Every structure is written in C-alpha cells, then in structure tokens.
Amino acid sequence: MSTAADDGRPGRDIMVVGHADLTPEALPLVESALRARLVRRPAPAMAMVRTGAGTPLASGRAARASGCPLVVAIPTRVGLPAMPPRRDRMATGELLTLADRVRLLTYDPTDRDSCIGADERLVAAGGLVLAVWDGSPSDGRDATAHLVTYARARGVPVEIVWPEGAAREAATAAGATG
C-alpha cells in the first residue's frame, strides 16, 4: 500500500459517495451492486472513498472483490492522521487493510461541513461518481443529495446505485455526512 498527500489522478478515478446509515441488510446489496459496476470500470481507473462506515465500507469490499484498485482518503490534521469518529473506527480499520493506496486529506472527521468539503474536493477531481443514494433530499444529516448536485454542476458524470431492498437506518442524533 502506498501513501501520498495527493495521489489522485484527476478525470479517471471513480469517487464513491453515499449514505453512511445503510441498514446491515443493505450493506451486502449495495456491495454487490457496486462490485458489478466496478468490474466494468475503464482501466486504469481506481475507486476512491473517504473513510467511514456504510457506503465507504461496502465500496471498499466491492473494489477488492472486483479487482478494482482502491484509494482510501483518510483525515489529517497538521499532516498527521486524525482519529475517526467512534462509529467509523472499525470500518476505517477494514478499509485500510483493503486499500491499495491511502490518500491523506485535510479535514476534520467530526465536523459535517469539513467532511462535505473533503468529499467535494474528491468529487471534483474524479471522472465518475457512483452515488449510493435513495433519492432523498439533503436533510442536514446526510449530504449525498448535495454531492450528486455538486458533481452534476461540475460536469462530472453521476451513476445512481440503489439496489432493490436497500434501506437506511432511522435518523439518529449522531447523524451522518455520507
């Protein structure tokens, strides 16, 4: 696994964004749908996710299963990796073991706006966005609708991935940014 402060390759890579609050039953459905899409990726594209639970974890597993190289963006503060929120720690550990590359990205993983800004930077540099999105509007706890709009406004192609049977957890006070 290699690490770089900015190892993205603008215009070719596939940024995967989506809901962090997928139900446990939805994770394998989303993983399967993403795997089917990543198998058809144009070489040498890589899948890229910002670390976390839900969609990022399903994406990492799908990338590994499809043979698609995976870049995991991890938060940094002052050039050092930042501790992810408690809800994302196990997923982050698994994603780091699945990653072919790690991209250090300056953002605060506990701040919603900072996470959205990090996602926007990744989306803007990508060639395609796969959005694990149920079509719901942005509601203050989830930024997926915003990221789809953001990508489309910048001319980045977006493909929606929402397999039949996928669902999200009920809203919680902890919230999610994915």
pLDDT at 5: 40
pLDDT at 178: 55
Looking at the predicted structure, is the pLDDT value of residue 1 above 70? Answer: no
Enclosing H/E stretch for 152: helix 144-153
pLDDT at 11: 56
Whole-number mean pLDDT of the chain? 88
Mean pLDDT of 106-121: 91
d(CA 85, CA 90): 10
- Digit-coded pLDDT (tens) for 131-171: 999 999 887 778 999 999 999 999 999 999 999 999 999 86
Transcribe 20-58 into DSSP letters. S-B-TTHHHHHHHHHHHHHHTPPTT--EEEES-SSHHHH
Instruction: Name the class of domain 2-161.
Output: alpha beta
For residue 42, name the pLDDT band (cuts at 50, 70, 90): confident
Transcribe 86-139 into DSSP letters. GGGHHHHHHHHHH-SEEEEEE--TT-HHHHHHHHHHHHHH-SEEEEE--SPPP-
For residue 77, name the pLDDT band (cuts at 50, 70, 90): confident
- 166 contact partners, CB below 8 Å, separation of at least 6: 22, 23, 26, 29, 30, 132, 134
CB atoms within 10 A of CB 160: 14
Q: Are strands 80-81 and 70-77 parallel, antiparallel or unpaired?
A: antiparallel
